[in-house]
A and B are shown apart, each in its own frame.
Chain A
Amino acid sequence: MKRPQAVTDLVDELKKLPGIGQKTAERLSFFMLRGTTERAEKLAQAIQNVKAKIILCSVCHGITERDPCDICQGPNRDHTQVCVVEEPHDVYVLENMGQYKGVYHVLMGVISPLDGIGPSELTIQQLKEKVEKGGIQEVILATNPNMEGESTAVYISKVLKPYPVKVTRIARGLPIGSDIEYADTVTLLKSLEGRSEML
Protein backbone atom coordinates (compact mmCIF):
# COMPACT_ATOMS: atom_id res chain seq x y z
CA MET A 1 0.00 0.00 0.00
CA LYS A 2 1.28 3.43 -0.91
CA ARG A 3 2.23 5.86 1.86
CA PRO A 4 -0.09 8.92 2.15
CA GLN A 5 1.14 11.90 0.11
CA ALA A 6 1.30 14.26 3.14
CA VAL A 7 3.72 11.93 4.96
CA THR A 8 5.83 11.47 1.80
CA ASP A 9 6.05 15.27 1.39
CA LEU A 10 7.23 15.68 5.00
CA VAL A 11 9.81 12.89 4.60
CA ASP A 12 11.09 14.49 1.37
CA GLU A 13 11.46 17.90 3.04
CA LEU A 14 13.19 16.51 6.15
CA LYS A 15 15.62 14.55 3.95
CA LYS A 16 16.95 17.84 2.60
CA LEU A 17 18.28 18.79 6.06
CA PRO A 18 21.99 18.15 6.77
CA GLY A 19 22.74 14.79 8.39
CA ILE A 20 19.23 13.41 7.82
CA GLY A 21 18.73 10.42 5.56
CA GLN A 22 15.65 8.45 4.46
CA LYS A 23 15.28 6.39 7.67
CA THR A 24 15.74 9.33 10.06
CA ALA A 25 13.32 11.44 8.00
CA GLU A 26 10.70 8.67 8.19
CA ARG A 27 11.21 8.28 11.95
CA LEU A 28 10.83 12.04 12.53
CA SER A 29 7.75 12.19 10.29
CA PHE A 30 5.97 9.39 12.15
CA PHE A 31 7.00 10.96 15.47
CA MET A 32 5.29 14.20 14.40
CA LEU A 33 2.25 12.23 13.20
CA ARG A 34 1.89 10.46 16.55
CA GLY A 35 2.33 13.68 18.59
CA THR A 36 -0.18 16.42 19.32
CA THR A 37 -1.26 19.04 16.79
CA GLU A 38 0.03 21.72 19.14
CA ARG A 39 3.58 20.35 18.98
CA ALA A 40 3.52 20.25 15.17
CA GLU A 41 2.23 23.81 15.04
CA LYS A 42 4.93 25.02 17.44
CA LEU A 43 7.63 23.46 15.27
CA ALA A 44 6.16 24.95 12.08
CA GLN A 45 5.88 28.36 13.77
CA ALA A 46 9.48 28.21 15.04
CA ILE A 47 10.77 27.44 11.52
CA GLN A 48 8.71 30.30 10.06
CA ASN A 49 9.92 32.73 12.76
CA VAL A 50 13.55 31.93 12.02
CA LYS A 51 13.04 32.93 8.39
CA ALA A 52 10.80 35.92 9.08
CA LYS A 53 12.39 37.55 12.11
CA ILE A 54 16.13 36.90 11.85
CA ILE A 55 18.14 39.59 10.09
CA LEU A 56 21.83 40.48 9.87
CA CYS A 57 23.12 43.15 12.24
CA SER A 58 24.26 46.18 10.24
CA VAL A 59 27.21 46.73 12.61
CA CYS A 60 28.72 43.28 13.23
CA HIS A 61 26.93 41.20 10.51
CA GLY A 62 25.87 38.64 13.13
CA ILE A 63 22.32 37.26 13.25
CA THR A 64 19.79 39.19 15.30
CA GLU A 65 16.08 39.95 15.73
CA ARG A 66 16.67 43.72 16.03
CA ASP A 67 19.24 45.96 14.39
CA PRO A 68 21.81 46.70 15.86
CA CYS A 69 22.08 43.43 17.78
CA ASP A 70 22.08 43.09 21.59
CA ILE A 71 25.85 42.66 21.67
CA CYS A 72 26.57 45.76 19.56
CA GLN A 73 24.35 48.02 21.68
CA GLY A 74 25.09 46.33 25.02
CA PRO A 75 26.15 48.97 27.62
CA ASN A 76 28.46 46.52 29.41
CA ARG A 77 30.33 45.64 26.24
CA ASP A 78 33.88 46.82 25.57
CA HIS A 79 33.62 48.51 22.16
CA THR A 80 37.38 49.03 21.94
CA GLN A 81 37.90 45.28 21.44
CA VAL A 82 36.61 43.59 18.25
CA CYS A 83 36.73 39.83 17.75
CA VAL A 84 36.70 38.83 14.07
CA VAL A 85 34.97 35.49 13.32
CA GLU A 86 34.13 33.60 10.12
CA GLU A 87 30.42 32.82 10.46
CA PRO A 88 27.46 34.18 12.53
CA HIS A 89 27.24 30.95 14.58
CA ASP A 90 30.88 31.41 15.73
CA VAL A 91 29.69 34.44 17.73
CA TYR A 92 27.52 32.18 19.90
CA VAL A 93 30.31 29.62 20.32
CA LEU A 94 32.47 32.38 21.84
CA GLU A 95 29.54 33.85 23.79
CA ASN A 96 28.91 30.46 25.45
CA MET A 97 32.37 30.82 27.00
CA GLY A 98 31.03 33.81 29.02
CA GLN A 99 34.44 35.44 29.41
CA TYR A 100 34.68 37.74 26.39
CA LYS A 101 33.22 41.20 26.94
CA GLY A 102 34.17 42.88 23.64
CA VAL A 103 32.14 43.09 20.43
CA TYR A 104 32.29 41.00 17.23
CA HIS A 105 32.71 41.37 13.49
CA VAL A 106 31.49 38.53 11.27
CA LEU A 107 33.37 38.09 7.98
CA MET A 108 30.65 35.92 6.37
CA GLY A 109 33.23 33.40 5.14
CA VAL A 110 36.95 33.13 4.50
CA ILE A 111 39.28 33.80 1.57
CA SER A 112 39.25 30.55 -0.40
CA PRO A 113 41.00 30.55 -3.79
CA LEU A 114 39.70 27.12 -4.77
CA ASP A 115 36.09 28.21 -4.14
CA GLY A 116 36.70 31.54 -5.88
CA ILE A 117 36.00 33.57 -2.68
CA GLY A 118 38.19 36.66 -2.53
CA PRO A 119 38.42 39.52 0.02
CA SER A 120 35.74 41.53 -1.82
CA GLU A 121 33.14 38.81 -1.10
CA LEU A 122 33.72 39.21 2.65
CA THR A 123 33.08 42.10 5.07
CA ILE A 124 36.78 43.05 5.33
CA GLN A 125 36.14 46.52 3.85
CA GLN A 126 33.49 47.20 6.54
CA LEU A 127 35.99 46.13 9.24
CA LYS A 128 38.58 48.48 7.76
CA GLU A 129 36.06 51.35 7.80
CA LYS A 130 35.21 50.57 11.44
CA VAL A 131 38.91 50.75 12.40
CA GLU A 132 39.35 53.92 10.31
CA LYS A 133 36.57 55.65 12.31
CA GLY A 134 38.66 55.14 15.44
CA GLY A 135 37.76 54.02 18.96
CA ILE A 136 39.02 50.45 18.44
CA GLN A 137 42.17 49.46 20.32
CA GLU A 138 42.39 45.74 19.60
CA VAL A 139 41.24 43.47 16.78
CA ILE A 140 41.29 39.76 17.74
CA LEU A 141 41.43 37.46 14.71
CA ALA A 142 39.45 34.32 15.64
CA THR A 143 39.22 32.63 12.24
CA ASN A 144 39.65 28.84 12.13
CA PRO A 145 43.25 27.59 12.43
CA ASN A 146 43.17 25.96 8.98
CA MET A 147 44.77 27.12 5.74
CA GLU A 148 41.89 29.39 4.64
CA GLY A 149 41.40 30.83 8.14
CA GLU A 150 45.11 31.48 8.60
CA SER A 151 45.50 33.19 5.22
CA THR A 152 42.42 35.34 5.89
CA ALA A 153 43.91 36.36 9.26
CA VAL A 154 47.23 37.27 7.59
CA TYR A 155 45.36 39.27 4.93
CA ILE A 156 43.36 41.24 7.53
CA SER A 157 46.50 41.95 9.56
CA LYS A 158 48.14 43.39 6.42
CA VAL A 159 45.06 45.49 5.61
CA LEU A 160 45.00 46.91 9.16
CA LYS A 161 48.75 47.46 9.37
CA PRO A 162 48.63 51.22 8.55
CA TYR A 163 46.21 51.90 11.45
CA PRO A 164 47.16 52.43 15.11
CA VAL A 165 45.36 49.30 16.31
CA LYS A 166 46.67 46.18 18.04
CA VAL A 167 45.98 43.10 15.86
CA THR A 168 46.14 39.77 17.73
CA ARG A 169 45.51 36.13 16.73
CA ILE A 170 43.86 33.52 18.96
CA ALA A 171 46.33 30.91 20.29
CA ARG A 172 46.79 27.63 18.42
CA GLY A 173 47.98 24.40 19.99
CA LEU A 174 46.93 21.40 22.05
CA PRO A 175 43.27 21.01 23.04
CA ILE A 176 42.46 20.58 26.76
CA GLY A 177 42.27 16.92 27.75
CA SER A 178 44.32 15.71 24.78
CA ASP A 179 47.48 13.61 24.84
CA ILE A 180 50.79 15.13 23.70
CA GLU A 181 51.83 11.69 22.39
CA TYR A 182 49.21 11.84 19.64
CA ALA A 183 49.69 15.49 18.64
CA ASP A 184 50.97 16.17 15.13
CA THR A 185 54.13 18.19 14.48
CA VAL A 186 52.37 21.36 13.27
CA THR A 187 50.12 21.52 16.35
CA LEU A 188 53.11 20.91 18.64
CA LEU A 189 55.11 23.61 16.86
CA LYS A 190 52.27 26.10 17.19
CA SER A 191 51.77 25.24 20.85
CA LEU A 192 55.48 25.83 21.52
CA GLU A 193 55.40 29.13 19.63
CA GLY A 194 52.37 30.27 21.63
CA ARG A 195 53.65 29.12 25.04
CA SER A 196 53.02 31.45 27.95
CA GLU A 197 55.03 32.15 31.10
CA MET A 198 53.98 30.38 34.34
CA LEU A 199 53.93 32.23 37.65
Chain B
Amino acid sequence: MGLFRTKAIVLRSINLSETDKLVTFMTDHYGKVKCVAKGARKIKSQFIGSLEAMSYIHLIYFGKENQNLFRLNHADIIQSFQSIRDDFHKLYMGIYFNELVDTMVPEAHREEDIYHLLLDALETLKDQSNVEPLCRMFEMRLLALSGYTPELNHCMVCKSLRGNGWVGFNFSKRGIVCGNCTNQAPPQIKFTTGTLNYLKKLLTLDIKCCGRLKFPKGLDEEIEKVTHRLILTHVGRELKSYPFIKNMAAVE
Protein backbone atom coordinates (compact mmCIF):
# COMPACT_ATOMS: atom_id res chain seq x y z
CA MET B 1 0.00 0.00 0.00
CA GLY B 2 1.57 3.28 -1.08
CA LEU B 3 0.91 6.91 -0.36
CA PHE B 4 1.21 9.19 -3.40
CA ARG B 5 1.78 12.94 -3.24
CA THR B 6 1.53 15.05 -6.38
CA LYS B 7 0.04 18.17 -7.89
CA ALA B 8 -3.05 17.59 -10.01
CA ILE B 9 -5.83 19.15 -12.05
CA VAL B 10 -9.37 17.86 -11.47
CA LEU B 11 -10.70 16.58 -14.81
CA ARG B 12 -14.09 15.26 -13.72
CA SER B 13 -16.03 14.66 -10.57
CA ILE B 14 -19.13 12.42 -10.46
CA ASN B 15 -21.38 11.26 -7.64
CA LEU B 16 -20.65 7.67 -6.71
CA SER B 17 -23.07 6.94 -3.89
CA GLU B 18 -25.03 8.78 -1.18
CA THR B 19 -21.96 10.59 0.11
CA ASP B 20 -18.99 9.60 -2.09
CA LYS B 21 -17.55 11.00 -5.30
CA LEU B 22 -15.46 9.44 -8.05
CA VAL B 23 -12.88 11.99 -9.18
CA THR B 24 -10.57 11.84 -12.21
CA PHE B 25 -7.29 13.76 -11.90
CA MET B 26 -4.52 14.63 -14.33
CA THR B 27 -1.47 14.42 -12.10
CA ASP B 28 2.05 15.74 -12.44
CA HIS B 29 3.87 12.46 -11.68
CA TYR B 30 1.41 9.60 -12.19
CA GLY B 31 -0.64 10.57 -15.27
CA LYS B 32 -4.40 10.19 -15.23
CA VAL B 33 -5.65 8.78 -11.92
CA LYS B 34 -9.12 7.93 -10.57
CA CYS B 35 -9.85 8.22 -6.86
CA VAL B 36 -12.83 7.61 -4.60
CA ALA B 37 -13.40 10.56 -2.29
CA LYS B 38 -15.24 9.15 0.73
CA GLY B 39 -17.83 11.51 2.21
CA ALA B 40 -17.04 14.23 -0.36
CA ARG B 41 -20.74 15.05 -0.88
CA LYS B 42 -21.32 15.83 2.80
CA ILE B 43 -21.67 19.55 3.52
CA LYS B 44 -18.85 19.50 6.10
CA SER B 45 -16.48 17.34 4.04
CA GLN B 46 -12.84 18.45 3.99
CA PHE B 47 -12.86 17.86 0.20
CA ILE B 48 -15.83 20.12 -0.54
CA GLY B 49 -14.81 22.92 -2.90
CA SER B 50 -11.48 21.36 -3.88
CA LEU B 51 -12.87 18.66 -6.17
CA GLU B 52 -14.61 20.89 -8.70
CA ALA B 53 -13.50 20.38 -12.32
CA MET B 54 -10.47 22.48 -13.34
CA SER B 55 -9.26 23.01 -9.75
CA TYR B 56 -5.47 22.87 -9.46
CA ILE B 57 -4.65 21.09 -6.20
CA HIS B 58 -2.09 19.40 -3.96
CA LEU B 59 -3.22 15.79 -3.95
CA ILE B 60 -2.50 12.90 -1.59
CA TYR B 61 -4.02 9.49 -2.30
CA PHE B 62 -3.28 5.90 -1.41
CA GLY B 63 -3.66 2.39 -2.77
CA LYS B 64 -1.68 -0.39 -4.42
CA GLU B 65 0.52 0.79 -7.26
CA ASN B 66 -1.09 -1.31 -10.01
CA GLN B 67 -4.72 -0.82 -9.11
CA ASN B 68 -7.12 1.34 -11.14
CA LEU B 69 -9.01 3.01 -8.32
CA PHE B 70 -7.38 4.78 -5.39
CA ARG B 71 -8.66 6.35 -2.16
CA LEU B 72 -8.36 10.11 -1.80
CA ASN B 73 -6.63 11.21 1.38
CA HIS B 74 -6.10 14.95 1.02
CA ALA B 75 -6.90 17.69 -1.51
CA ASP B 76 -5.75 21.25 -1.00
CA ILE B 77 -6.45 24.01 -3.56
CA ILE B 78 -3.46 25.75 -5.16
CA GLN B 79 -5.61 27.62 -7.68
CA SER B 80 -9.35 27.24 -8.15
CA PHE B 81 -9.62 28.98 -11.56
CA GLN B 82 -12.85 30.49 -10.27
CA SER B 83 -12.71 33.27 -12.89
CA ILE B 84 -13.05 30.59 -15.61
CA ARG B 85 -16.15 29.20 -13.89
CA ASP B 86 -17.63 32.69 -13.56
CA ASP B 87 -17.44 33.30 -17.33
CA PHE B 88 -19.91 31.24 -19.32
CA HIS B 89 -17.86 30.90 -22.53
CA LYS B 90 -14.60 30.19 -20.69
CA LEU B 91 -16.29 27.60 -18.49
CA TYR B 92 -17.42 25.46 -21.43
CA MET B 93 -14.04 25.90 -23.11
CA GLY B 94 -12.34 24.65 -19.92
CA ILE B 95 -14.72 21.68 -19.72
CA TYR B 96 -13.86 20.88 -23.36
CA PHE B 97 -10.12 20.93 -22.56
CA ASN B 98 -10.73 18.58 -19.62
CA GLU B 99 -12.86 16.21 -21.69
CA LEU B 100 -10.21 16.13 -24.44
CA VAL B 101 -7.49 15.18 -21.95
CA ASP B 102 -9.75 12.66 -20.21
CA THR B 103 -10.58 11.03 -23.56
CA MET B 104 -7.12 11.02 -25.12
CA VAL B 105 -4.91 10.13 -22.16
CA PRO B 106 -4.95 6.50 -20.92
CA GLU B 107 -4.86 5.85 -17.17
CA ALA B 108 -1.59 5.44 -15.22
CA HIS B 109 0.70 6.67 -18.04
CA ARG B 110 2.99 9.45 -16.93
CA GLU B 111 2.18 12.34 -19.31
CA GLU B 112 4.01 15.30 -17.82
CA ASP B 113 3.89 17.37 -21.03
CA ILE B 114 0.13 16.97 -21.39
CA TYR B 115 -0.31 17.87 -17.71
CA HIS B 116 1.70 21.09 -18.23
CA LEU B 117 -0.18 21.83 -21.48
CA LEU B 118 -3.51 21.63 -19.64
CA LEU B 119 -2.24 23.75 -16.76
CA ASP B 120 -0.83 26.39 -19.14
CA ALA B 121 -4.07 26.36 -21.17
CA LEU B 122 -6.16 26.96 -18.01
CA GLU B 123 -3.77 29.72 -16.85
CA THR B 124 -4.09 31.40 -20.26
CA LEU B 125 -7.84 30.87 -20.44
CA LYS B 126 -8.21 32.62 -17.08
CA ASP B 127 -6.79 35.92 -18.45
CA GLN B 128 -7.66 35.64 -22.13
CA SER B 129 -10.67 37.32 -23.70
CA ASN B 130 -10.23 35.91 -27.23
CA VAL B 131 -10.41 32.17 -26.50
CA GLU B 132 -10.78 30.70 -30.02
CA PRO B 133 -7.02 30.71 -30.93
CA LEU B 134 -6.30 29.11 -27.54
CA CYS B 135 -8.80 26.33 -28.26
CA ARG B 136 -7.26 25.63 -31.70
CA MET B 137 -3.78 25.68 -30.22
CA PHE B 138 -4.78 23.29 -27.42
CA GLU B 139 -6.27 20.82 -29.93
CA MET B 140 -3.13 20.85 -32.11
CA ARG B 141 -0.70 20.61 -29.17
CA LEU B 142 -2.61 17.78 -27.54
CA LEU B 143 -2.57 15.84 -30.81
CA ALA B 144 1.16 16.49 -31.17
CA LEU B 145 1.94 15.41 -27.58
CA SER B 146 -0.16 12.26 -28.05
CA GLY B 147 2.01 11.36 -31.05
CA TYR B 148 -0.37 12.45 -33.80
CA THR B 149 1.34 15.59 -35.13
CA PRO B 150 -0.14 16.44 -38.54
CA GLU B 151 2.40 16.79 -41.35
CA LEU B 152 2.31 20.43 -42.46
CA ASN B 153 5.76 20.90 -44.00
CA HIS B 154 5.63 18.69 -47.07
CA CYS B 155 3.18 16.68 -49.18
CA MET B 156 2.36 13.24 -47.72
CA VAL B 157 2.78 11.64 -51.20
CA CYS B 158 5.64 13.36 -53.08
CA LYS B 159 7.39 14.78 -49.96
CA SER B 160 7.72 18.20 -51.60
CA LEU B 161 5.52 21.28 -51.47
CA ARG B 162 4.56 22.78 -54.80
CA GLY B 163 1.82 25.12 -53.67
CA ASN B 164 -0.41 27.00 -56.08
CA GLY B 165 -1.76 29.23 -53.34
CA TRP B 166 -3.69 26.32 -51.80
CA VAL B 167 -3.06 22.86 -50.35
CA GLY B 168 -5.29 19.90 -49.61
CA PHE B 169 -5.49 17.97 -46.34
CA ASN B 170 -6.03 14.23 -46.09
CA PHE B 171 -7.28 13.34 -42.60
CA SER B 172 -6.61 9.61 -42.82
CA LYS B 173 -2.98 10.29 -43.82
CA ARG B 174 -2.94 13.15 -41.28
CA GLY B 175 -1.07 15.56 -43.55
CA ILE B 176 -1.16 17.99 -46.44
CA VAL B 177 -1.32 16.96 -50.09
CA CYS B 178 -0.01 19.18 -52.91
CA GLY B 179 -1.96 19.99 -56.06
CA ASN B 180 -0.11 17.34 -58.13
CA CYS B 181 -0.82 14.42 -55.79
CA THR B 182 -4.57 14.82 -55.21
CA ASN B 183 -5.25 11.66 -57.28
CA GLN B 184 -3.14 9.42 -55.02
CA ALA B 185 -4.49 10.87 -51.76
CA PRO B 186 -7.74 12.79 -52.33
CA PRO B 187 -7.95 15.69 -49.86
CA GLN B 188 -11.10 16.03 -47.73
CA ILE B 189 -10.52 19.75 -47.33
CA LYS B 190 -8.63 22.44 -49.26
CA PHE B 191 -7.25 25.62 -47.74
CA THR B 192 -4.97 28.52 -48.57
CA THR B 193 -1.28 28.66 -47.71
CA GLY B 194 -2.24 31.48 -45.30
CA THR B 195 -4.24 28.97 -43.24
CA LEU B 196 -1.33 26.52 -43.48
CA ASN B 197 1.00 29.13 -41.96
CA TYR B 198 -1.43 29.69 -39.08
CA LEU B 199 -1.66 25.92 -38.48
CA LYS B 200 2.15 25.77 -38.28
CA LYS B 201 2.12 28.65 -35.77
CA LEU B 202 -0.36 26.72 -33.60
CA LEU B 203 2.25 23.99 -33.22
CA THR B 204 5.22 26.25 -32.48
CA LEU B 205 4.02 29.38 -30.67
CA ASP B 206 4.14 29.43 -26.84
CA ILE B 207 0.60 28.74 -25.59
CA LYS B 208 0.90 31.53 -23.02
CA CYS B 209 1.44 34.00 -25.91
CA CYS B 210 -1.59 32.85 -27.89
CA GLY B 211 -3.24 36.22 -27.20
CA ARG B 212 -0.93 37.62 -29.88
CA LEU B 213 -2.43 35.27 -32.44
CA LYS B 214 -5.42 36.74 -34.20
CA PHE B 215 -7.02 34.83 -37.07
CA PRO B 216 -8.16 36.97 -40.02
CA LYS B 217 -11.91 36.89 -40.62
CA GLY B 218 -12.84 33.85 -42.70
CA LEU B 219 -9.70 31.91 -41.80
CA ASP B 220 -10.90 31.15 -38.24
CA GLU B 221 -13.64 28.79 -39.47
CA GLU B 222 -11.22 27.12 -41.91
CA ILE B 223 -8.67 26.54 -39.13
CA GLU B 224 -11.38 25.20 -36.78
CA LYS B 225 -12.53 22.75 -39.47
CA VAL B 226 -8.99 21.33 -39.75
CA THR B 227 -8.06 21.14 -36.04
CA HIS B 228 -11.40 19.86 -34.80
CA ARG B 229 -11.73 17.29 -37.58
CA LEU B 230 -8.26 16.03 -36.70
CA ILE B 231 -9.53 15.51 -33.14
CA LEU B 232 -12.66 13.75 -34.44
CA THR B 233 -10.56 11.48 -36.68
CA HIS B 234 -8.39 10.52 -33.73
CA VAL B 235 -11.10 10.15 -31.06
CA GLY B 236 -13.66 8.60 -33.43
CA ARG B 237 -16.65 10.52 -32.06
CA GLU B 238 -17.78 14.05 -31.25
CA LEU B 239 -16.96 15.17 -27.73
CA LYS B 240 -20.02 15.84 -25.59
CA SER B 241 -18.93 19.30 -24.45
CA TYR B 242 -18.00 20.69 -27.90
CA PRO B 243 -21.52 21.59 -29.11
CA PHE B 244 -22.04 23.45 -25.79
CA ILE B 245 -19.26 25.94 -26.63
CA LYS B 246 -21.20 26.97 -29.76
CA ASN B 247 -24.72 26.79 -28.31
CA MET B 248 -23.91 28.64 -25.11
CA ALA B 249 -22.03 31.40 -26.94
CA ALA B 250 -25.35 32.25 -28.62
CA VAL B 251 -26.92 32.99 -25.20
CA GLU B 252 -24.33 35.66 -24.36
A interface list, Cβ under 8 A from B: 18-19, 111, 113-116, 118, 146-147, 150-151, 154-155, 158-159, 175, 177-178, 182-187, 189
Contact = CB atoms under 8 A, between A and B. Distances in A.
A113 B46 CA distance: 27
Task: Give the residue among A146, A182, A183, A189 with the most B Cβ atoms within 10 A.
Answer: A146
A118 B82 contact: no
Given A114-B12, A147-B53, A158-B88, A178 B240 contact: no
B52 A158 contact: no
The 10 A-B pairs of least Cβ separation, nearest first, read: A113-B241, A184-B49, A113-B244, A186-B80, A186-B49, A187-B49, A116-B240, A175-B43, A185-B77, A113-B95
B140 to A, nearest CB: 22
Interface in B72-128: 76-77, 80, 82, 85, 88, 91-92, 95-96, 99
Nearest to B53: A147
Interface of B: 12, 17-18, 43-44, 46, 48-50, 52-55, 76-77, 80, 82, 85, 88, 91-92, 95-96, 99, 240-241, 243-244, 247-248, 251-252
A175 B44 contact: yes
A187 B248 contact: no
19 contacts: A19-B17, A19-B18, A113-B95, A113-B99, A113-B240, A116-B240, A147-B91, A151-B92, A155-B88, A158-B252, A159-B251, A175-B44, A178-B44, A184-B49, A185-B49, A185-B77, A186-B49, A186-B77, A187-B49
B88 A154 contact: yes
B174 to A, nearest CB: 27
Contacts of B88: 151, 154-155, 158
Contact of B48 (A151, A155, A187): A187
A114 B44 contact: no
Contacts of B44: 175, 177-178
Nearest to A116: B240
Contact of B82 (A18, A115, A186): A186
B244 A118 contact: yes
A116 B247 CA distance: 13
Contact of B248 (A116, A155, A184): A155
A18 B17 contact: yes
Given A155-B248, A155-B251, A184-B80, 18 more contacts: A114-B12, A114-B95, A115-B240, A116-B240, A146-B52, A147-B52, A147-B54, A151-B85, A151-B92, A155-B88, A158-B88, A158-B251, A158-B252, A175-B43, A183-B49, A185-B77, A187-B48, A187-B49
A19 B16 CA distance: 10
Contacts of A118: 243-244, 247
A115 B14 CA distance: 10
Contacts of B48: 184, 187
A150 B241 CA distance: 16
B228 to A, nearest CB: 16
B99 A184 contact: no
A181 B232 CA distance: 46
A120 to B, nearest CB: 9
Nearest to A159: B251
A133 B80 CA distance: 40
B221 to A, nearest CB: 22
